[in-house]
Amino acid sequence: MTRRIPQARDRGIPDATVARLPLYLRALNGLAERGTPTVSSEDLATAAGVNSAKLRKDLSHLGSYGTRGVGYDVQYLIYQISRELGLTQDWAVAIVGVGNLGRALANYGGFASRGFRIAGLLDADPAVVGDRIAGLVVEHTDELESVIASRAVSIVVIATPATAAQHVCDRVTRAGVTSILNFAPVVLNVPEGVDVRKVDLSIELQILAFHEQRKANGGPIMAEEWPDGVEQVNERSIGASS
């Protein structure tokens, strides 16, 4: 691989920190719009909804970009975080699966404004192929490999039904894609070196339901066994098929 110059922030940006950088970036953009020139870690932390010490430690992983007694220069910090996240270059993104969700994603403004350019929309359904969505014409998934290669797609968003997701995943990884954002409710199997991030709408609701239940009755104090003394036979009475 390429030689690397060892540096303070060389290899060691913790995942937890990386996950928060976009949050800081958004808060900073808000401040920039209002023309704020500098911001203290305290104020920025409040805007981003985190502890100020955590924010300082996070930023310290990027380098020493603050000024003691003053704070951080908003524009400068926006640039540094953007660069660290790789948002100063633009990324070609392909969305596979143009159902309700894929359509919503294609129209979502938050992508284009952050260096993500939707370079292709693909679907297996001939009835959808040819539709014009968000300025792009939907192409057939047969074109998947050629679209990826010709338009230098480096990130693929999978918004297909669960059953198709693994197949699409296999094809795009074989085509050289190493970053996948998966909305299908399945655990994708990928080769070494491929990053998958998963967004699962129903999981979030289930976590909320857990806490809501905890709040409603001070914790589950109901019976621990089956509802009616039912034996543990295969009754298929509870599990909802997805």
For residues 28 and 59, which CB has a smaller minimum distance to its own copies in the complex? 28
Contacts 24+ apart (CB under 8 A), 102-109: 102/157, 102/159, 103/133, 105/157, 105/159, 106/133, 106/134, 106/136, 107/133, 107/134
Using alpha carbons only, give the angle 24, 201, 236 rounded to the nearest 5 degrees.
150
> What does each C-alpha distance from 58 to 37, 41, 106, 149, 155 come to in angstroms?
21, 11, 32, 36, 26
Considering only residues 182 to 221 of the shown chain, the ones binding its own copies according to CB under 8 A are 185, 187, 193, 195, 197, 199-213, 215, 217-221
Reduced 3-state DSSP string for 88-130: CCCEEEEEECCCHHHHHHHHCHHHHCCCEEEEEEEECCCCCCC
Using rule CB under 7 A, residue 42 touches DNA: yes
* Residue 179 to residue 67: CA distance in whole angstroms: 36
Using rule CB under 7 A, residue 223 touches DNA: no
For residues 45 and 153, which CB has a smaller minimum distance to DNA in the complex? 45
Q: From the CB of 218, what's the least distance to its own copies, in Å?
A: 4
* Contact between residue 208 and residue 200 where contact means Cβ atoms under 8 Å apart: no
For residues 72 and 141, which CB has a smaller minimum distance to its own copies in the complex? 72
Q: Which stretch binds DNA (CB under 7 A): 52-60, 85-93, 137-145, 157-165?
A: 52-60
On whether 29 is known to bind a ligand per the annotation, the reply is no
Of positions 69, 135, 229, 232, contacts its own copies by CB under 8 A: 232
Binding track, positions 102-131, relative to its own copies; x by CB under 8 A: -xxx-xxxxx-xxxx---------------
On whether 107 is known to bind a ligand per the annotation, the reply is no
Using rule CB under 8 A, residue 92 touches its own copies: no
Binding residues for DNA, total number by CB under 7 A: 26
Site residues (vs DNA, CB under 7 A): 14-17, 39-42, 50-54, 56-57, 59-60, 64-72
